[in-house]
């Protein structure tokens, strides 16, 4: 059963981007959004005026942290063949009650795709911490979300600013 990575976060973060669960390429490389056709890092570079491609994975994470943005996944572990969100089964959510206690400045949560949003709502709809958050579902940056162009995705993700 694959497991997600630890969050990229620090005490200055006020925003959180949540994916569903890392895909095969990301798990192999132990990096968020490692698939070369996933538009996530290209979108982040465009939004924040960073050079793309990045020099290193640390540069990617530091770009987000420098803009007070944490990065994590909704699902801690699951059963899935391949990388498609539609194949996720037996999803186990991360411990968000602990996360939001540890990082109380995080108030805006952006979801990379509907699966991330739906899994979060399903797991935490009656949790009290959810009342203090603004939840913003965004289109998936995955290459599987081919009905939207890069420019359409970039425009939607500009709410991060």
- State the pLDDT at residue 88: 76
- State the pLDDT at residue 22: 86
The residues, any chain, with a CB within 8 Å of residue 74's CB and separated by 6 or more, are 18, 19, 20, 21, 91, 93, 94, 111, 116, 119, 120, 123
Q: Tell me, yes or no, if 38 is annotated catalytic.
A: yes
- State the pLDDT at residue 1: 55
Q: Exactly one of 38, 94, 112, 119 is catalytic; name it.
A: 38
- State the pLDDT at residue 27: 87
Residues with pLDDT less than 50, the chain: none
Q: How far apart are the first and last CA of the chain?
A: 35
pLDDT, one tens digit per residue, over 88-121 is: 778 899 999 999 999 999 999 999 999 999 999 9
- State the pLDDT at residue 39: 98
- Scanning the structure block, which residue is given the tokens 């009656």? 126
- State the pLDDT at residue 84: 64
């Amino acid at each position: 059963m694959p497991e997600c990575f630890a969050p990229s976060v620090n005490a200055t973060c006020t925003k959180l981007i949540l994916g569903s669960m890392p895909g095969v390429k990301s798990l192999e490389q132990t990096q968020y959004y490692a698939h070369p056709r996933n538009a996530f890092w290209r979108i982040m570079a465009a939004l924040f005026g960073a050079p793309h491609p990045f020099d290193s994975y640390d540069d990617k994470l530091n770009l987000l942290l420098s803009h007070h943005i944490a990065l994590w996944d909704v699902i801690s572990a699951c059963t899935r063949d391949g990388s498609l969100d539609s194949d996720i089964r037996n999803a186990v959510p991360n411990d968000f009650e602990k996360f939001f206690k540890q990082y109380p400045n995080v108030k805006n949560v952006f979801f990379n795709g509907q699966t991330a949003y739906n899994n979060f709502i399903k797991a935490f709809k009656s949790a009290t911490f959810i009342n203090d958050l603004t939840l913003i579902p965004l289109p998936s940056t995955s290459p599987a979300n081919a009905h939207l162009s890069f420019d359409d995705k970039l425009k939607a993700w500009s709410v991060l600013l």
